[in-house]
Amino acid sequence: MRNENHTQKEEFNITVYTENHIGLLTRIAIIFSRRKINVESLNTSPSEVEGIHRFSIVMTETAETVRKIAGQIEKQVGVLKVYFNTNQDVVWQEMALYKVPTDVIAERAVVERLLRENGARAVVIRKDYTVFETTGHREETDNLLRVLEPYGLIEFVRSARIAIIKDSEGFHRKLQEFEQSEPHDEVVENEYLSSREKVFTM
């Protein structure tokens, strides 16, 4: 989805499909630092295609600025395709871990109830502390953080965002369709880079 109001800032999710090139993350980071743009979340992971990695970057900017950033990233060697979407156009989640004193949970039924209401589950239970995990949108993980702070919260950490584009047939399918339309036996490094628009239009 493309926001028609180019002056209104909002949260965008940039999805980058890349080959596994050393130094690529540094080059992408430089693009943001040169424009003095803050990256709110960055996650790297394997994609549905073996050997292809996926970057998920979250930033708050105007649609025009995001479009320019996406274009600059896509020009980098090793980058196959870049997409950018608003939060309404993706399914996204973040995971959070909370360490709280075990005796507080045992002695105060209200804490156990609050954890249960917020969908938290225990992943480590020790005599001195218990670690809970919950997954959801940032507002949800922030809410549990506020709830636990008065009860001796020891540690809190939240993961980077992971996101799936709603209106997408998937990277793997597009690649397979292109291979079937233009088959050949010879393996050529970066053979699809010159045909990005045909391969990776979602």
**Residue 100 phi/psi, 5° resolution?**
-130, 155
Cα separation, 99 vs 75, in Å, equals 43
Question: Model confidence over 131-147: pLDDT tens digits?
Answer: 999 999 999 999 999 98
- Domains of the chain plus CATH, in order, are 10-88 (3.30.70.260), 91-158 (3.30.70.1150)
pTM of the model: 0.76
Contact present, 13 and 40 (Cβ < 8 Å): no
Question: At CA 87, angle to CA 83 and CA 90, rounded to 5?
Answer: 60
Cα separation, 53 vs 115, in Å, equals 35
Question: Model confidence over 72-121: pLDDT tens digits?
Answer: 999 999 999 999 999 999 999 999 999 999 998 877 778 888 888 889 99
Question: Model confidence over 23-72: pLDDT tens digits?
Answer: 999 999 999 999 999 999 999 999 988 889 999 999 999 999 999 999 99
Cα separation, 89 vs 44, in Å, equals 20
Q: What is the pLDDT of residue 197?
A: 53
pLDDT at 126 over 60: yes
